[in-house]
């Protein structure tokens, strides 16, 4: 099984686009940025470009924020340019973009050099736990983050959540807040930390009750993702073994030991051609082994082309040995985004699947399918929604599971996947 910490990797911040990097770095987030006066004329043109292109390209820009309020905030941002640093202008635009209200419309940090603190956190049972860190801070694994530079974590997350991008509902807000909270420039620009590249983090060991405060230095995002070694928790399911010859780490299947079921890892989207080959191999295995139950794991799937996912459903539908009344399971969590959310809802309809796990981080009915444009002066990337999809008549915040199972810290800290464990027990009891 894939480690849970991999579920927490940012799907939006760690994409480095060299074409924009040189341009954007002239504007953004260097140690001298905050002391420099900004180029008013350039930013004024970029803000006008931002507004004009969103109005021209977004399918329904004013579905959440009114045009009057949007224009009022645009004018407010422009009128305060003389008083703002580069990063403060960007934060203002991130905050405004959040009010558009869909997970595909974002003021992206793609291609921008940022710095990250050397831990990853995840909200489990209402507490922000360290689930990944560098080797020299491995003693922090499992600790609860309580303060940054003396400020309570609840205050920090409240402010970061207002500017975190790619947010569509409560579930994705939790995920994105945790990701953006580790960007040092953002915390400093929000005046939540005292220094740009260093902060004091306070952790609680809930076993011993001991609190520890450490000064953490940041890592350049290029080095963070390419050259840094991390330690993390690992979860596994003894009944499932990833095949050695699987073509992809994110798409494979395996029989579930001591059952008549198979497990399908569907963590990302391949090409149509690859999914067709994969679907054929799954169908062949099901027919040869008279498989009755199928588990499709869409957790940590950040999306892609949901039409590719329908290929898998097509091939599964050709298998007569499957228990089509109660034998299909789909696993979802807060990191089931975009096309994966759409497929989860589709699989419930066309495969009679039982959804197990957490509500998804995207909504089954709403604005999706991402386009983008680049601001001409700063080189910042703006994404927007091009389509409206309706996969449910009843509007909900995320695909709501038939069986709600949240990640449990006691299980996870012991390497146990409690969601998959429930599914296997249910299969065995049939």
Span 287-331, pLDDT tens digits: 999 999 999 999 999 999 999 999 999 999 999 999 999 999 999
How many domains are there within the chain? 2
Indicate if 221 and 283 belong to the same structural domain. no
Q: Dihedral through CA 32, CA 33, CA 38, CA 43, nearest 10?
A: 150
Last residue of a domain, one of 181, 201, 232: 232
Residue 311 lies in a domain: yes
Range with the poorest average pLDDT among 8-12, 123-127, 150-154: 8-12
Indicate if 157 and 198 belong to the same structural domain. yes
Indicate if 188 and 334 belong to the same structural domain. no
Q: How confident is the model at residue 240 (pLDDT cuts 50, 70, 90)?
A: very high
Residue 308 lies in a domain: yes
Indicate if 122 and 224 belong to the same structural domain. yes
Q: How confident is the model at residue 38 (pLDDT cuts 50, 70, 90)?
A: low
Residue 94 lies in a domain: no
Q: In whole angstroms, what separates CA 150 from the centre of its chain?
A: 28
Whether the predicted pLDDT of 340 surpasses 50 = yes
| The pLDDT value given to residue 336 | 97
Indicate if 256 and 191 belong to the same structural domain. no
Give the integer Cα–Cα distance in Å for 351 and 254.
Answer: 19
What value does the mean pLDDT of the chain take? 90
Q: How confident is the model at residue 33 (pLDDT cuts 50, 70, 90)?
A: very low
The tokens describing 98, both together, are 């959040």
The tokens describing 170, both together, are 């409560």
CATH number for the domain spanning 175: value is 2.30.42.10
Q: Which of 394, 334, 387 is nearest to 364 (CA)?
A: 394
Indicate if 283 and 194 belong to the same structural domain. no
Q: In whole angstroms, what separates CA 296 from the centre of its chain?
A: 19
The 10 Å Cβ neighbour count of residue 319 is 18
Whether the predicted pLDDT of 64 surpasses 50 = yes
Q: How confident is the model at residue 25 (pLDDT cuts 50, 70, 90)?
A: very low
| The pLDDT value given to residue 70 | 98
Residue 27 lies in a domain: no
Asked if residue 246 lies in contact with residue 252, where contact means CB atoms within 8 angstroms, the answer is yes
| The pLDDT value given to residue 3 | 42
Q: Give me the DSSP letters along 117-182.
A: -SEEEEEETTEEEEEEEEGGGGGGTTPEEEEETTEEHHHHHHHHTTT-SS--SHHHHHHHHHHHTT
Residue 105 lies in a domain: no
Give the integer Cα–Cα distance in Å for 183 and 260.
Answer: 46
Q: Tokens 């350039």 — which residue?
A: 42
Rounded (5°) CA angle 335-339-344: 75
Whether the predicted pLDDT of 30 surpasses 60 = no
Angle between helices 153-160 and 170-180 (to 10 degrees): 110
Q: What are the helix (H) ranges across 290-417?
A: 306-316, 338-350, 409-412
Residue 313 lies in a domain: yes
Q: Which of 246, 293, 94, 103 is nearest to 183 (CA)?
A: 94
Domain that includes residue 347, residue range: 251-362+398-428
| The pLDDT value given to residue 7 | 40
Last residue of a domain, one of 199, 232, 265: 232
The tokens describing 263, both together, are 């497990």
Q: Which of 92, 172, 162 is nearest to 368 (CA)?
A: 172
Whether the predicted pLDDT of 16 surpasses 80 = no
Residue range 71-106, pLDDT digits in tens: 999 999 999 999 998 999 999 999 999 999 999 999
The tokens describing 108, both together, are 């992206």
CATH number for the domain spanning 286: value is 3.90.226.10
Indicate if 297 and 196 belong to the same structural domain. no
| The pLDDT value given to residue 18 | 37
Please give the C-alpha separations between residue 107 and each of 51, 110, 277, 304, in angstroms, as whole numbers. 12, 9, 37, 20
Q: Which of 27, 46, 174, 44 is nearest to 109 (CA)?
A: 27
Give the integer Cα–Cα distance in Å for 394 and 60.
Answer: 20
Q: Around 146, how many Cα atoms within 13 Å sit in the side-chain half-sphere?
A: 13
293-297/328-332 β-pairing: parallel
Whether the predicted pLDDT of 23 surpasses 60 = no
Q: Give me the DSSP letters along 259-317.
A: SSEEEEEE-S---HHHHHHHHHHHHHHHHHHT--EEEEE-TT-----HHHHHHHHHHHT
Q: How confident is the model at residue 395 (pLDDT cuts 50, 70, 90)?
A: confident
Indicate if 284 and 136 belong to the same structural domain. no
| The pLDDT value given to residue 55 | 97
| The pLDDT value given to residue 333 | 97
Rounded (5°) CA angle 48-50-166: 155
Indicate if 258 and 296 belong to the same structural domain. yes
Indicate if 323 and 405 belong to the same structural domain. yes
The tokens describing 14, both together, are 């760690």
Residue 209 lies in a domain: yes
Q: Which of 285, 233, 248 is nearest to 263 (CA)?
A: 285
The tokens describing 258, both together, are 């001591």
Residue range 346-355, pLDDT digits in tens: 999 999 999 9
Indicate if 320 and 408 belong to the same structural domain. yes
Residue range 402-418, pLDDT digits in tens: 999 999 999 999 999 99
Which residues lie across from 123 on neighbouring strands? 128
Give the integer Cα–Cα distance in Å for 193 and 367.
Answer: 35
Q: Tokens 């975009």 — which residue?
A: 338
Residue 260 lies in a domain: yes
- Most distant CA pair in the chain, distance: 71
Indicate if 273 and 404 belong to the same structural domain. yes
- Tell me 349's DSSP state: H
Asked if residue 247 lies in contact with residue 276, where contact means CB atoms within 8 angstroms, the answer is no
């Amino acid at each position: 099984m894939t480690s849970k910490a991999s579920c927490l990797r940012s799907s939006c911040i760690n994409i480095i686009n060299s074409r924009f990097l040189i341009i954007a770095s002239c504007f953004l987030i260097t140690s001298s940025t905050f002391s420099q006066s900004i180029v008013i004329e350039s930013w004024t043109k970029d803000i006008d470009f931002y507004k004009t292109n969103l109005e021209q390209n977004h399918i329904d820009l004013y579905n959440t924020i009114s045009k009057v309020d949007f224009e009022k905030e645009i004018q407010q941002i422009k009128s305060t340019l003389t008083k703002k640093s580069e990063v403060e202008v960007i934060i203002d635009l991130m905050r405004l973009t959040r009010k558009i209200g869909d997970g595909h419309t974002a003021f992206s940090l793609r291609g921008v050099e940022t710095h990250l603190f050397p831990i990853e956190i995840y909200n489990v049972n209402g507490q922000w736990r360290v689930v990944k860190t560098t080797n020299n801070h491995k003693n922090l694994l499992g600790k609860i983050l309580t303060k940054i530079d003396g400020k309570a974590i609840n205050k920090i997350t409240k402010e970061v959540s207002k500017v975190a991008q790619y947010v569509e509902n409560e579930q994705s807000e939790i995920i994105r807040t945790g990701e953006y909270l580790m960007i040092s420039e953002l915390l400093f620009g929000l005046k939540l930390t005292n220094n740009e590249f260093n902060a004091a983090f306070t952790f609680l060991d809930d076993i011993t009750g001991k609190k520890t405060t450490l000064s953490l230095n940041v890592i350049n995002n290029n080095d963070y993702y390419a050259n840094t070694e991390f330690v993390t928790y690992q979860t596994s399911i003894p009944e499932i073994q990833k095949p050695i010859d699987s073509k992809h780490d994110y798409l494979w299947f395996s029989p579930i030991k001591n059952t008549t079921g198979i497990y399908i890892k569907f963590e990302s989207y391949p090409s149509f051609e690859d999914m067709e080959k994969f679907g054929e191999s799954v169908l062949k295995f099901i027919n040869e082994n008279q498989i009755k139950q199928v588990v499709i794991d869409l957790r940590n799937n950040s999306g892609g082309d949901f039409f590719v996912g329908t290929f898998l459903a097509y091939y599964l539908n050709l298998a007569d040995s499957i228990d089509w009344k109660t034998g299909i399971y789909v696993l979802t969590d807060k990191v089931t985004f975009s096309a994966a959310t759409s497929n989860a809802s589709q699989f419930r309809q066309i495969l009679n699947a039982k959804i197990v796990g957490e509500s998804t981080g995207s909504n089954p009915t709403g604005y999706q399918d991402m386009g983008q444009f680049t601001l001409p002066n700063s080189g910042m990337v703006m994404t927007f929604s091009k389509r409206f999809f309706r996969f449910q008549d009843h509007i909900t915040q995320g695909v709501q599971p038939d069986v709600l199972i949240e990640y449990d810290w006691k299980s996870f800290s012991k390497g146990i996947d409690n969601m998959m464990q429930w599914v296997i027990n249910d299969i065995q009891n049939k």
